[in-house]
Amino acid sequence: MNVFRTLPTATRRNLLVLLLTGLLFWSSLAALLPTLSLYIKHVGATNHQVGIVMGSFAIGLLLFRPWVGRLADERGRRVVLLIGLAAAAIAPLGYLVTQSIPLLMAIRAFHGLSIAAFATAYSALVVDLSPAQNRGEIIGYLSLASPIGMAIGPALGGYVLEWAGYTPLFLLATGLGVAGIGCAVWVVAPVTEFQDDQGRKPFWSVITSPRLRVPTLLLLLVGLAFGTLSTFVPLYIQESRVDLNVGLFYTAAAIASFSARLFSGRASDRYGRGRFITLGLLIYALAMLALWTAMHREVFLLAGALEGLGIGIFIPALIALVADRSEASERGRVFSLCMAGFDLGIAIAGPALGFYADWVGYRGLFGLASGLTFLALLIFIVQSSKDVSHSIRFALGGGKDWYALPQQQ
């Protein structure tokens, strides 16, 4: 992490405070991850209603993405960061005070605002604060907030639930969100000038432009595969009757993802984004392929490690690529809309691919997921630049990114 020593003191302090804020946010969110569906069941919901309430999170996330993206550009990143943290702090109290299924759906959708706002503002702020020549490295380091928070939160939440029950659990999640707000107020966001002429462009034109269309499509396809994994791996392992605690699968993925993010961002600065996006997609596709063929616990654990390694390489490199291809004045909208592709993939994976589970089984779903990821890899190799030959060179040989804008803060 020598890059931090070269940064101005104010920038270094901002990034460290932002990292701590991210840890608190993701820990707050993840504290409820393994137990919220149990709570909804506990208050009297049927299995179908549990699915509807949990799925409302993605609906809220998708609905709020465009609004928070534009707000981040027009009113500043810190405002949107605080909105996300406030939603993370308020929503657990909402779960606590109602047992009505429609109200729980509304609160869950409101909870979706937390990621929509926080992830958009966080990504844009990291890029705003990073020198262009070290952008990938700093994105890689700051993205560690997510896997670390997602590892701490469930363990902490599970312990509190077992020790004290649901009320202290929800208060814990709220407290972590409030602590995040306390950190975020110390973040000093660089001033970016919003350009009025951008406001007259169709909002969705941001992601239909050649420079951002392919990254958004990649995120959609990987989101479908990730959503399949998140929804069906526990059921698949149970059906396979493999002697494996499903938590170990996610532990293997988290360790691999953490390790990958330590080097992948810096390497993409030095050797080019294309190679590492290609590598991340290839490893992720191999993870889905391993799940498709898995019959023993060792193969499941290998698949988990490959999944974490692939996503840990792919996401920081792709975020850096999107940053390279966007103006400072539009980064809020760009990140919110591009990442909406990933959100959409996760949201529709369960109902869309789950429809085929009765026909092809869980194993077949991962065969389909591997096909989707290999398709994403093929699209990137032949469509990532202005023509096929330049795309192949960029994706495989470190060629120039023709869509990258002049380096700027």
Query: Could you report the per-residue pLDDT of 101-130, keeping only the tens digit for each?
Result: 889 889 988 998 998 899 889 988 988 888
Distances (CA, A) of 303 to 146, 282, 286, 308, 379: 20, 13, 8, 9, 23
Burial 306-334 (b: 16+ CB within 10 A, else e): bbbbbbbbbbbbbbbbbbbbbebebbbbb
In a domain, residue 407? The reply is no
Residues 231, 359: one domain? yes
**Rounded distance between C-alpha atoms, residue 6 and residue 131, angstroms:** 10
Residues 295, 384: one domain? yes
In a domain, residue 409? The reply is no
Residues 277, 178: one domain? no
In a domain, residue 209? The reply is yes
Residues 167, 307: one domain? no
Q: Which pLDDT score is estimated for 47?
A: 59
In a domain, residue 98? The reply is yes
**Rounded distance between C-alpha atoms, residue 249 and residue 400, angstroms:** 37
**Rounded distance between C-alpha atoms, residue 274 and residue 324, angstroms:** 12
Domain boundary among 143, 158, 192: 192
The domain spanning residue 298 has which CATH number? 1.20.1250.20
Residues 51, 175: one domain? yes
Residues 206, 152: one domain? no
In a domain, residue 138? The reply is yes
Q: Which pLDDT score is estimated for 199?
A: 47
In a domain, residue 408? The reply is no
Residue-by-residue DSSP string for 386-407: SSHHHHHHHHHH----TTPPPP
Residues 114, 100: one domain? yes
Decide if pLDDT at 376 tops 90.
Answer: yes
Which one, of 215, 253, 194, lies nearest residue 73 by Cα? 194
Residues 248, 99: one domain? no
Residues 36, 185: one domain? yes
**Rounded distance between C-alpha atoms, residue 203 and residue 305, angstroms:** 38
Which one, of 90, 80, 64, 109, lies nearest residue 21 by Cα? 80
If you ran DSSP here, which 8-state letter would residue 288 be given?
H
Domain boundary among 192, 214, 232: 192
Q: Number of structural domains, the chain?
A: 2
**CB contact set of 129 (below 8 Å; sequence gap of 6+):** 11, 14, 15, 18, 138, 190
Residues 223, 319: one domain? yes
Residues 106, 213: one domain? no
Decide if pLDDT at 141 tops 70.
Answer: yes
**Rounded distance between C-alpha atoms, residue 126 and residue 139, angstroms:** 7
Residues 202, 262: one domain? yes
For 13-47, write each residue's pLDDT tens digit.
Answer: 888 999 999 999 999 988 887 677 778 878 787 75
Domain boundary among 173, 192, 211: 192
In a domain, residue 384? The reply is yes
**Rounded distance between C-alpha atoms, residue 328 and residue 409, angstroms:** 7
Which one, of 334, 337, 317, 324, lies nearest residue 409 by Cα? 324
Q: How many CB atoms lie within 10 A of CB 246?
A: 16
**Rounded distance between C-alpha atoms, residue 21 and residue 177, angstroms:** 9
Answering whether pTM is above 0.75, one says yes
In a domain, residue 130? The reply is yes
Decide if pLDDT at 333 tops 70.
Answer: yes
For 259-286, write each residue's pLDDT tens digit.
Answer: 888 887 778 878 888 899 999 999 999 9
Decide if pLDDT at 80 tops 80.
Answer: yes
Domain membership of residue 169 as a residue range? 1-192
Per-residue pLDDT averaged across 185-197, rounded? 69
